[in-house]
Amino acid sequence: MNEKIQRKIFQYFQKNKIENFVGVPDSTLKYFIDEGLQNKKILIANKEEEAIGIGAGMILAGSPTVMFMQNAGFANSISTITSLIQLYEIPMIFLIGWRGYLKNDAPEHEKIGRIQPELLKNLELENKILTDKTWEKGCKWALSKMKKNIPVALIIRREFLD
Amino acid sequence: MIRKDAVEIICKKIENDIIVSANGFISRDVFSSLEKNTNFYMIGSMGLASSIGLGIALKKPKNRIFVFDGDGNILMNLGSLVTIGTLKPKNLVHIIFDNKMHESTGGQPTQAKKINISEIARSTNYTIFSVKTKQSLEKILNKIQTVKGPILVHVLVEKSKNKSSRVNLNPEIIASRFMNALKN
């Protein structure tokens, strides 16, 4: 996804009353994160589970929050998602960069990237892929789920190699 | 001093402040000592009570937030001390009940036996208080009312034979009533 759209996604969330963006950096999402840093709305935690804990606290305090992370870090957090976010029905939006989407991505991303769709399915975490064309629709959908106390994931595919 | 006695002493002192309690026996003790809408009983996600407490503290600067944590819990999420020490929430009181074991799972040892959790927290900008007796705990609880956070009250406790009953509330109810109570 190109730089302009990533910055637009951040602005869209901010305009729609998302007050905090908490997570762990990911290169696929770097322009989104940069836009957030420029707006002083980003909190970077040491690990994804920790980030989810902080985000959960903010949401419990009434302050809407979006999480950002790589799919590897998302996978680190499975038990936190089931035993905190889903168990307590905390309306959290996950924005996840999908490494290993391309089959020739770096070897450490290959397996976790391959099982990513199945992982989301087994977690029963509703999700949508954001593209340059569909991002606004996807973000709107996530915000509507948030209002119904349903946690969801939005996925951005890494479509380049470096 | 056993953990339940320490929890009761603290609960008596803090009354209406927000509590986030770690999973296992700690949440059970809070539930039986001071059940109220502004308690968030974290029954799963071990390690994250202090992170949840931090998120609340940042968004509710006028409220005091008490995290009831354990040695096993904080050792699972030491990075949380770093984040809390970086953001320095003045309204966060982090209580760690340290029995140097995973009492909820049968008393297996934690590594708190070999290291001092207070010293780790000291190097991450916490103001530290360490207590071993009921008298000193009561004294410290009075003292911290005028101290800016982040504060760590490191409560050294012994293993106990009694255990409190389970938190028998539906997690959705715990979360929704907590959110409603914080709105006011």
What is the rounded average pLDDT of the residues A81-108?
96
Question: Chain A residues contacting B, CB < 8 Å?
Answer: 22, 45-47, 49-63, 65, 79-80, 82-84, 87-90
User: What's the confidence (pLDDT) of residue B15?
Assistant: 80
Residue B41's nearest CA partner among A88, A4, A131, A74 is A88
Strand B101-102 with B108-109, pairing: antiparallel
User: What's the confidence (pLDDT) of residue B181?
Assistant: 97
The reply to whether residue B77 touches residue A53, judged by beta carbons under 8 angstroms, is yes
The reply to whether residue B53 touches residue A57, judged by beta carbons under 8 angstroms, is yes
User: What's the confidence (pLDDT) of residue A162?
Assistant: 83
- Sign of the Cα pseudo-torsion (A21, B86, B3, B138, in order): negative
User: How far B83 CA sits from the closest chain A CA (Å)?
Assistant: 7
User: What's the confidence (pLDDT) of residue A158?
Assistant: 95
Please write the tens of the pLDDT for every residue from B35-84.
999 999 999 999 999 999 999 999 999 999 999 999 999 999 999 999 99
The reply to whether residue A61 touches residue B172, judged by beta carbons under 8 angstroms, is no
The H or E element spanning position B155 is: strand B151-156
What is the rounded average pLDDT of the residues A133-146?
98
Give the number of beta-carbon pairs within 8 Å between A and B: 105
What is the rounded average pLDDT of the residues A66-78?
97
- Banded pLDDT at A161 (limits 50, 70, 90): confident
User: What's the confidence (pLDDT) of residue B161?
Assistant: 85
Mean pLDDT of chain A: 97
CA A50 from centre of chain = 14
- Residue showing tokens 């029905």: A89
Is B107 part of the contact surface with chain A (CB cutoff 8 Å)? no
The reply to whether residue A56 touches residue B52, judged by beta carbons under 8 angstroms, is yes
Q: Which amino acid is at A134?
A: T
User: How far B135 CA sits from the closest chain A CA (Å)?
Assistant: 32
pTM over 0.95: yes
Please write the tens of the pLDDT for every residue from B105-138.
999 999 999 999 999 999 999 999 999 999 999 9
Tokens of B127: 């103001």
The yes/no answer on whether domain B3-183 falls in CATH 3.40.50.970 is: yes
Q: What is the rounded CA–CA span in Å between residue B67 and residue B146?
A: 18
Q: Is the pLDDT of residue B184 over 80?
A: no
User: What's the confidence (pLDDT) of residue A46?
Assistant: 98
Q: Is the pLDDT of residue A160 over 90?
A: no
**Going from the N-terminus, what domains does chain A have, and what CATH number goes with each?**
3-157 (3.40.50.970)
Kindly give the residue spans of alpha helices, DSSP state H, lying in chain A.
Answer: 3-15, 30-38, 48-60, 71-76, 78-80, 107-123, 135-147
